Structure 1
Amino acid sequence: MLLQGKNAIIYGGTGPIGRAVALGFAREGATVHLTGRRLTALEAVAAEIRDEGGSVRTAVVDALDAEQITAHADRVAASAGSIDISFNAIGLGDIHGTPLAEMSLEVFERPVVNAARTMFLTTQAAARQMIKQGSGVLLFFGGDDGHDPIRDYYIGGFQVAMGLVDTLRRQLAAELGPHGIRAVTLQTGGIVEAIPAEDASRDAIVDMIVGQTMLKRAATFDDVGNVAAFACSDKAASITAASINITAGAVAD
């Protein structure tokens, strides 16, 4: 197994991407420390992991609260002996479909502020433990590694927030690399399965996502979990300050 004996903290573990990565990690032998704001929802995902024979712990943690994040990371490090992986999949805010020229400052800045706060706090808490160990992986999701802006669909501050995450990943990789810590992003062109069936715009969004790919299909939840597990394993030990492209050819490197 790729992650046997590893401890992975996942923030936003009840969301579709958090769940997909949690299942991928657990299948490869990691003990998953699943966090979120709602215990009932956390336990539902944990039950799926246990049903597959995986190891999981749950904790209610607000991934925008510095004290809660630090206290939880300290508990994991003390009880499990290490924090080998930290992955933040919390939602950053709604995508309103409003042009920037017509958007209020409050709506624009919400995902930017949320991204800056949660990504800084969660990676910092993990990095402090990883520095002591001399190893670890900070995993990110989304972003386009500085490629083209999104066309034909207004996503407000969300794309700006993703650019912030990309820059943070690069800086963390530079500062933490000498301590044996890697920082990697899974670069996605959109996960069709994550779009709610009741979303009135779903068909148009699916067509846009799939239409931009070379494979004529989008990455699936299983794809996300499998690539995440590889990226955080020792098999990927030389990958850092990088995005792993799972856009199915929507972005050509």
Structure 2
Amino acid sequence: MMLTGKNAIIYGAGGSIGGAVARAFAREGAKVHLTGRTREPLDRLAAEIREAGGAAETALVDAMDPARVGEHARSVFEADGRLDISMSVVGIDDVQGTPLTEMAWEDFSAPVVNALRSTFVTATAAARLMIGQGSGVILTFGGYGPPTAGLGGLQVAFQTQDSLRSVLAAELGPHGIRVVTLQTGGITETLPADFEHAAAVTEAIDGATLLGRAATLADVGNVAAFAASDLASSITAAALNITCGSVADH
């Protein structure tokens, strides 16, 4: 197993993407600390992981709150002796479908500020602990792809995360800490069941790929586990492209 003996905190673990990452980490041997703002989905996921033979703990943590994030990360570090992986997959509330010329500043800036704040708060809290042990992996999730109209501040939010990832990687690399982004072109499994345009959005996302399909939740978990493992020890300051070809790297 790729993550045997590793200790991981996942912020936003109650969501579908956070859950996929947590299951993959646990399957590969990591002890996962599941955090979020709502207790029930965290406890349900922890029970599922334990039933499958994995190790999971839960805690209510608001990823926007530096004091609470730092307190929790420190408690994990002190209880288990190390913190190996930190990943934030906190949801970003955004307004889509409205032209920028018709959008209020508050609606445009909200996803940008929230994405940057949650990434900064969780990453730096983990880094302060990882520096002392001389190792660690910080993962972010997003990736913005080609410019697309109608997405409001979402792509700008992902770009700010990517810029922060690069700076963090530069500062933390000398301490043995890697910082990596998982770049997707959209995970169609996460679309709400009652979303009236789900079929059209799925067709658009799938149609833009070279493989004729979007990445699945299982794909996200598998790549996250690899990125967090020692098998990827030479990868940092990079985005791992899991867009199924909708974004071509040059």
TM range (shorter): over 0.9
| CA deviations over 1:15-74 (Å, ceiling 9, x no partner) | 111001000100000000000011111101112211211110000001111111010001
Alpha-carbon distance in structure 2 between the residues aligned to 1:217 and 1:211: 7
- How far has the Cα of 1:134 moved from its partner? 0.3
**Counterpart mapping for 1:86-235 below 5 A:** 86-144=86-144, 147-151=145-149, 154-235=150-231
The Cα of 1:148 is off from its aligned counterpart by 2.1
Percent identity of paired positions between Structure 1 and Structure 2? 59
User: Match of 1:121, SS?
Assistant: helix
Structure 1 residue 95: deviation in Å? Answer: 3.4
SS of the aligned residue for 1:93 comes to coil
Residues 201-232 of structure 1: CA distance to partner in whole angstroms, max 9, x if unpaired?
11111011000011101111111101100000
- How far residue 94 of structure 1 moved from its aligned partner, in angstroms, is 2.8
Letter in 1 for 2:26: A
Which residue of structure 2 lines up, in the alignment, with residue 52 of structure 1?
52
Poorly superposed stretches of 4+, deviation over 3 Å: none
Which residue of the partner structure matches residue 81 of structure 1? 81
Rounded Cα–Cα distance in structure 2 between residues aligned with 1:47 and 1:209: 33
What's the RMSD between the two structures over aligned residues?
A: 0.9
Q: Deviation of residue 131 (structure 1)?
A: 0.2
Mapping 1:53-72, distance limit 5 Å: 53-72=53-72
Query: Number of residue pairs matched?
Result: 249
* SS of 1:2 mapped into structure 2: coil
> Partner letter of residue 40 of structure 1?
E
- Gapped regions of structure 1 (runs ≥ 5): none
SS class of match (1:183): strand
* Structure 2 length-normalised TM: 0.98
> How far, CA to CA, are the matches of 2:94 and 2:114 in structure 1?
11
